[in-house]
Amino acid sequence: MIVAYNKLYTSQLGAGLGLVDETKTLLDLWSSSMTINQLHQVALESGRFPNVTARRLRNIVVECFAPRYLVAAGAPAAHLKRLAKTIPTADLTQLMLVFTSRANLILGDFIRQVYWIQYAGGYTQITNADARIFVERAIGNGLTTKHWSESMIQNVSGYLTGCCADYGMLEQGRRTSRRILPFRISPAVATYLVYELHFSGISDNALLIHDDWKLFGLAREDVLEEIKRLSLKGLLIVQAAGDVIRISWKKTDMEALCDVLNQS
Tens of pLDDT along 144-155? 988 999 999 999
Mean pLDDT of the chain: 95
pTM, rounded to two decimals: 0.95
Q: Which domains does the chain have, with CATH numbers?
A: 105-179 (1.10.10), 187-263 (1.10.10)
Q: How far is CA 263 from the centre of its chain?
A: 23
Given a cut of 60, whether residue 1 has pLDDT beyond it is: no
How would residue 15 be classed by pLDDT, with cut points 50, 70 and 90? very high
Instruction: Report pLDDT for 174.
Output: 83
Q: Kindly tell me if the per-residue pLDDT of 100 is higher than 80.
A: yes
Q: How far apart are the first and last CA of the chain?
A: 25
Q: What is the length of the chain?
A: 264
pLDDT at 81 > cutoff 80: yes
Segment 127-135 mean pLDDT = 98
Q: What is the predicted pLDDT for the residue at 173?
A: 87
**165 pLDDT more than 90:** yes
d(CA 110, CA 162): 12
49 contacts 40 by C-beta, under 8 angstroms: no
Distance of CA 30 to the CA centre of its chain: 19
Has residue 5 got a pLDDT over 60? no
Instruction: Count the neighbouring beta carbons within 10 Å of the beta carbon of residue 43.
Output: 24
